[in-house]
């Protein structure tokens, strides 16, 4: 696998992506992932292909039967004649729209892949509902800081909200707690101990602003985390919730209690 970016699954939290690479290397020894690669040339035909590429300072070739090209997505607004409508474009030909979906032309709204950002089906759906509400005279806004996503690797990656780095960049005095799946009883029973879960919270309000996963059932686990972030639940609320045992959801309560304990110790030391 030849990846142009410094790391795969770049939309995921940094440590989650790094741990995924380690898990893949351990569980799939025949899979080799090279990052920071620039493909120079592809020659030949199906059944007899040669790929020339640059990985750092090294030039190399790779012979294979087939090549799957997956270079991501970008907005294609070329056929919309937006210039005639006076609609402003932003980065990579994406339509510049605000959190209500409105473009610079007051009666023109845009949602989904054409405005860039998270190019995900559920994102477009929410943006569409927001735009429709505003067109009908109501007040609604799309909040990217509460959006979510899943990458269906094995183990799976998932996120909702922001990472610690993103939170701090947004001016939030944030802190995080993480636990490995290897401490979870259910994961031990099923032999699915690869991965970790992180919670990111506002240090002052204790509001949970992000949850990040590398876990075999992250697509299911992230559902509870979506509600935490969307509803602005606090560490106290999650810590006090009674999760069933043995499940992986009980890790949410465990992490919340751990982080609260750490914050209290820090506050006492500072006092």
**CATH code of residue 206:** 3.30.390.30
What is the CATH classification number for the domain harbouring 112?
Answer: 3.50.50.60
Q: Which DSSP string do the residues of the chain spell out, in sequence order? A: -B-SSSSSSTTS-HHHHHHHHHHHHHH-TT---B-SEEEEEEEEETTEEEEEEEETTEEEEEEES------------TTS-HHHHTPPB-GGG-B---TTSB-SSTT-B--GGGG-SS--HHHHHHHHHHHHHHHTT------GGG-EEEE-SSSEEEEEE--HHHHHHTT--EEEEEEEGGG-HHHHHHT----EEEEEEETTT-BEEEEEEEETTHHHHHHHHHHHHHHT-BHHHHHHS---SSSSTHHHHHHHHHHHHHHHHHHHHH-
Is a pLDDT exceeding 90 seen at residue 8? no
Structural domain of 108: 82-142
- Name residues whose C-beta falls within 8 Å of residue 165's C-beta, 6 or more positions apart in sequence: 14
Please tell me the predicted confidence (pLDDT) of residue 271.
72
Task: Quickly tell me which residue has 């210039």 as its tokens.
Answer: 83
CB–CB of 62/43 below 8 Å? no
Among 92, 121, 142, residue at a domain's last position: 142
Q: Determine the distance from the C-alpha atom of residue 181 to the mean position of all C-alpha atoms in its chain, rounded to a whole number.
A: 19
Write down the pLDDT at residue 71. 81
Digit-coded pLDDT (tens) for 186-216? 999 999 999 999 999 999 999 999 999 999 9
Q: Is it the case that residue 19 has pLDDT exceeding 90?
A: yes
Q: Which H, E and C letters describe 13-69, residue by residue?
A: CHHHHHHHHHHHHHHCCCCCCECCEEEEEEEEECCEEEEEEEECCEEEEEEECCCCC
Establish if 199 belongs to a structural domain: yes
Residue 90 within any structural domain of the chain: yes
For residue 245, indicate whether it is catalytic.
yes
Indicate if 134 and 230 belong to the same structural domain. Answer: no
Classify residue 77: in a domain, yes or no.
Answer: no
pLDDT tens for 246-259 read 999 999 999 999 99
52 plus 106 within the same structural domain: no
Q: How many domains does the chain have?
A: 3
Q: Give the model's pLDDT for residue 113.
A: 95
Same domain? For 256 and 172 the reply is: yes
In a domain, 156, yes or no: yes
Do 202 and 242 lie in one domain? The reply is yes
Based on the fold, state whether residues 160 and 266 are members of the same structural domain. yes
Q: For the whole model, what pTM was predicted?
A: 0.91
Q: What is the mean pLDDT of residues 120-130?
A: 97
Q: Is the peptide bond before 247 cis (omega within 30 degrees of 0)?
A: no
Asked if 28 and 103 sit in the same domain, the reply is: no
CA dihedral sign, ordered 115, 116, 118, 119: positive
pLDDT greater than 90 at residue 91: no
Number of Cβ atoms within 10 Å of the Cβ of 129:
14
Residue 98: what pLDDT? 97
- Judge if 117 and 171 occupy the same domain: no
For 33-88, the pLDDT digits (tens) are 898 999 999 999 999 999 999 988 889 999 999 999 988 888 999 899 999 999 99
The confidence score (pLDDT) of residue 87 equals 96
pLDDT over 80 (residue 117): yes
């Amino acid at each position: 696998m030849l990846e142009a970016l410094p790391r795969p699954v770049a939309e995921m939290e940094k440590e989650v992506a790094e741990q995924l690479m380690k898990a893949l290397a351990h569980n799939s020894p025949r899979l080799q992932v090279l990052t920071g690669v620039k493909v120079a040339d592809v020659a030949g035909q199906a059944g007899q292909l040669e790929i020339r590429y640059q990985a750092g300072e090294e030039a190399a070739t790779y012979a294979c039967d087939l090549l799957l090209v997956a270079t991501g997505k970008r907005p294609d607004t070329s056929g919309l004649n937006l210039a005639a409508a006076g609609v402003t474009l932003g980065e990579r030909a994406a339509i510049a729209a605000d959190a209500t979906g409105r473009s610079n032309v007051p009666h023109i709204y845009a949602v989904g892949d054409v405005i860039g950002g998270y190019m995900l089906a559920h994102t477009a759906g929410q943006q569409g509902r927001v735009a429709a509400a505003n067109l009908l005279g109501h007040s609604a806004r799309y909040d990217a800081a509460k959006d979510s996503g899943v990458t269906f690797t094995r183990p799976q990656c998932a996120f909702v909200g922001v990472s610690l780095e993103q939170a701090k960049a947004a001016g939030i005095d944030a802190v995080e707690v993480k636990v490995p799946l290897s401490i979870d009883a259910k994961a031990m029973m099923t032999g699915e101990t690869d991965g970790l879960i992180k919670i990111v919270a506002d240090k002052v309000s204790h509001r949970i602003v992000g949850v990040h996963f590398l876990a075999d059932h992250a697509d299911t686990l992230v559902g509870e985390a979506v509600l935490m972030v969307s509803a602005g639940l606090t560490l106290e609320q999650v810590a006090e919730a009674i999760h069933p045992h043995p499940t992986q959801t009980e890790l949410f309560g465990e992490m919340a209690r751990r982080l609260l304990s750490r914050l209290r110790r820090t506050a006492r030391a500072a006092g």
